[in-house]
Structure 1
């Protein structure tokens, strides 16, 4: 990703239809993610929903307190970050997308739809 963003002053991406490649590896939860069970309520498995949060290409403000080595030099508008703050916009986007099709659904109904 970094080499592509360095290759032009105005990098863009295009999403194209492609074949799905089967991935048989088990999904992994990032080390910084909440997870269960816990010692207080061991029968509850968490998280109910997970979202991508590792190595996310994110918008960047040069006024931000980000270490210089994480910035795409030559294009200081973007940065690769990991964390729950990177996963949250993905989850919120899915909720908004589902809500756009079902504006009458409750938060619980939307959560159930995303989980299943």
Structure 2
């Protein structure tokens, strides 16, 4: 059974830094169907994320783990700019690098 130990944050410099890296299973572009479009537009943490499962916690990877990160940013942007359209929010995320690191 996995055991989690939460300890004080530390700064890591050099080769010990694990991010930013795009996971090997992540979508990459261009695709044969759309060679002029490079994907993904937005990237978020999705590997080795501590997630609740039943009465415990497990480490999971995938889009189900990265989606909450982007959703939270969208919710924050929408709360600050309730008049923004979905396209405006996407543009803000893409051009600011909030999720692209």
CA contact (8 A) 1:37 1:46 kept: yes
Gap regions ≥5 residues in structure 1: 6-12, 62-75
Tell which structure's C-alpha radius of gyration is larger: 1
Which of 40, 46, 53 is the equivalent residue of 1:53? 46
Paired position in structure 2 for 1:37: 30
RMSD (CA atoms): 3.0
Paired position in structure 2 for 1:98: 77
Gap regions ≥5 residues in structure 2: 96-101
Cα distance in 1 for partners of 2:12, 2:81 equals 28
CA contact (8 A) 1:32 1:84 kept: no
Cα distance in 1 for partners of 2:45, 2:73 equals 12
Aligned structure 1 segments of 4 or more residues deviating by more than 3 angstroms: 18-27
Cα distance in 1 for partners of 2:25, 2:72 equals 21
Alignment of 1:115 with 2:98, yes or no, is no
- Structure 2 length as normaliser, TM-score? 0.75
